[in-house]
Amino acid sequence: MSAGEWVLPPVPPYKPRCREVKILKSKSRQVSVTAIFAALYAVGVVLLAPISFGVYQVRVADALLPLSMIFGMPAAAGLSLGCLIANIYGGLGITDIIGGALANFLACSIAYRIGRNGVIRRFLGCPCREYHHYSYRRRLFIGYI
- For 102-112, the pLDDT digits (tens) are 999 999 998 88
In a domain, 3, yes or no: no
Q: Which domain holds residue 108?
A: 18-118
Domain assignment present for residue 80? The answer is yes
Half-sphere exposure of 57 (CA within 13 A, CB side): 16
pLDDT in tens, 41-95: 999 999 998 888 888 888 899 999 988 888 889 999 999 999 999 999 987 889 8
Q: Return the HEC string of 2-49.
A: CCCCCCCCCCCCCCCCHHHHHHHHHHHHHHHHHHHHHHHHHHHHHHCH
Q: pLDDT tens-digit profile of 113-135?
A: 887 766 665 565 555 554 454 45
Residue 142 lies in a domain: no
Please check whether residue 138 lies inside any domain of the structure: no
pTM over 0.85: no
In a domain, 24, yes or no: yes
Task: Confirm whether 5 is domain-assigned.
Answer: no
In angstroms, the CA 26 to CA 37 distance is 17
- Using alpha carbons, select from 51, 124, 126, 113 the residue that is nearest to residue 76: 113
Domains held by the chain: number: 1
- Is 74 inside any structural domain? yes
Residue 135 maps to a domain: no
**23 compared with 12, residue with greater pLDDT:** 12
